[in-house]
Chains A and B, each alone.
Chain A
Amino acid sequence: MSVDLTLTEAAPPRSASTLQLQFRRFRSNRLAMLSVGLLALIVLACFFGPYAFPFTGEDADFDFISAPMDLWSPHPFGTDEYGRDLLVRVLEGGQVSLTIGFLGALVAGVIGVLYGAVAGYAGGRADGLMMRLVEILYGFPYVILVILLSLLFGGGNLALFAAIVFTLWLTPAVIVRAQAQSLARREFVEAARAGGMTGWQIVVEHIVPNCISVVIVYGSLLVPEVILSESFLSFLGIGIKEPQASWGNLIASGTSAMDSDLRLLLLPGTLLALVLLCLNFIADGLRDAFDPNDR
């Protein structure tokens, strides 16, 4: 029984981590990278563009009521029937819609991921109860939920935000739970328990990071969903209220003036469509780069 360990193995040449490889793959996707660029441009325009104008989207200019599009006038895309600058309003509305979109996706994502990871890791009866609750909430009619939450929060943006988060955390929870279940059976989780980690530490340090691929992919799909959801509710008049602008309520008022002036619908509509398109291409690119099935 000779013990031969005089030879210490040297490491093979460096290679990248899986995460690095995945991002590299994403960066080589032209359409997705183009979308990232365009989206960044739109975001920057929404948040900094309005400063280029001497007025805000809520200031009425009585010399220009329902002014048409004229790129050389003070109101390049014209004004609405109150004399408010359409471009500035659309950009400011973008701030609201994008903020709700990204923040809502983030909050819904974090809640859903943690909930799903805990349920999947815990398994057994706790998992059964937690998932039954998700099923019940899935069955809850959306509009009724929004109305209930509006009553609860006294209407306003917070109620809208809560309603959006409340419905959208369910799907990430279900997706992550399935992934967490299979991870919980892996031996590194057993090793973690043997290493004295608590259940919560295992969820946060092992389960969630290993769900990162699905989370990134799903999260990128969640953003357009939240934006659409906000627009839909604002369109119905439950969401963001005048005079504050959002793409949803701008499109709503644009639609009602559609017959006389298509301009009011086209500008916010085009921007919303562009953002949704970009987000979908980005989500596609992320899925191609991150999908664990073809690693």
Chain B
Amino acid sequence: MTLLEARNLGVGYKIPGPGLFSASRMLPIVHDLSLSLEAGRTLGVVGESGCGKSTLGRALLRLIPPSAGQVLWQGEDMTLIPDLRRRRAEMQIIFQDPVAALDPRMTLARIVSRPLSTFEPNLSRVQVRARAVDALQQVGLSADFADRFPHELSGGQAQRVGIARAIIGRPKLIICDEPVSALDVSIQAQVINLLMELQEKMGLALVFISHNLAVVRHISHEVMVMCLGRVVEQAPRDAFYARPLHPYSQALMDAVPEPNPKRERGRVGTALAGELPSVLNPPRGCVFASRCPKATDLCRQTRPELREVAPGRQAACHFIET
């Protein structure tokens, strides 16, 4: 069965009106997005910063409510799952800023094991402690970390603690929201490899959000490219990296800086030429039209639908060459 599925998902943020009682407006961020993910697989989500990747990740876990469409968890509409809060053990998330993701006033044992008091309330103190230590060890941190505080950790160690907290309830899915973007390049590989090892051991599915194409290539089975809240291309990893079809994907690939061991490789900056349209004023036609070298009037007038352009590959562009 499909583990996670999104159907025509729309997500936005409520912007309060000017007065206390004036109606609030909806600021749409993610539009008409569909995806599906099988157990044990990894979906890489790539896009420039601000395109709505984090918003999508949170909406997939229903940490923010969708404004349109649905998210299905193992075939069940998430809005209809009774007492979803207690089922959250199965679906976890790790964050971009690993230190901010840990409560500075709590010990690591407490941080890691807190979810258990919701998910498995019948455990004894001793059992909870043992599980916390076990989770820490699974992410490569020795038991003497248990009574430390977050400010004693390096970024890489803090991210491991975040992962330990995510796996303590034995999840089926982890949303990884740019989990290595804030880490030193030397540490990034360790964390990525840890995630892959845990994936294999626990049969985890991952949604791996990143703006780093090289990292996504390493970890993903499937790649999804987002631009301004819309999917513009989706493809199996090898096919995608062999030849990205959408002009936006191609531009992202070209924006990858030359291999330079001193610099982080594969990072997509906002270095694409041209002006990024604002979310407040989205373009009528193609989301990439203002920056696309191939753009025509058609592109500016009519939005291209996401369509099957090759077996297993989808792209949203009027002029795909296959």
Q: Which residues of A contact B (CB under 8 A)?
A: 1-5, 7-12, 14-15, 17-19, 124-125, 128-129, 132, 186-188, 190-198, 205-206, 209-210, 212
Contacts and interface: CB of A to CB of B under 8 A. Distances in A.
Contacts of A11: 141-142, 144-145, 148, 152
A190 B105 contact: no
B165 interface: yes
Given A8-B140, A9-B141, A124-B16, A212 B115 contact: no
Contacts of B85: 196-198
Contact of A4 (B107, B193, B218): B193
Given A12-B152, A124-B24, A132-B20, 9 more contacts: A2-B193, A125-B16, A187-B100, A191-B101, A191-B162, A194-B91, A195-B165, A196-B86, A196-B88
Nearest to B88: A196
Contacts of A192: 103, 114
B61 interface: yes
A192 B162 CA distance: 11
A18 B104 contact: yes
B92 A210 contact: no
B147 to A, nearest CB: 8
- Tell which of A11, A124, A132 has the most Cβ of chain B within 10 Å: A11
Contacts of A197: 85, 114, 118
A190 B54 CA distance: 12
A3 B88 CA distance: 28
B95 A3 contact: no
Interface in B101-124: 101-105, 107, 114-115, 118-119
Contacts of A8: 137, 140-142
A93 to B, nearest CB: 39
A2 B194 CA distance: 10
19 contacts: A3-B196, A5-B197, A9-B140, A15-B152, A17-B149, A132-B20, A187-B100, A188-B102, A188-B103, A190-B93, A191-B101, A191-B102, A192-B114, A194-B61, A194-B63, A197-B85, A205-B114, A209-B105, A210-B103
Contact of A9 (B16, B88, B105, B157): B157
B139 to A, nearest CB: 8
B68 to A, nearest CB: 20
B102 to A, nearest CB: 6
A205 to B, nearest CB: 8
Contacts of B95: 187, 190-191
Nearest to A10: B142
Contacts of B107: 17
B89 interface: yes
A135 B75 CA distance: 48
B58 interface: yes
B307 interface: no
Contacts of A206: 103
A38 to B, nearest CB: 31
Contact of B105 (A1, A7, A193, A210): A210
Contact of B16 (A18, A128, A190, A196): A128
B14 interface: yes
B134 interface: no
B97 interface: yes
Contact of A195 (B20, B88, B142): B88
Interface string B1-41: 00000000000001010001000100000000000000000
A178 to B, nearest CB: 17
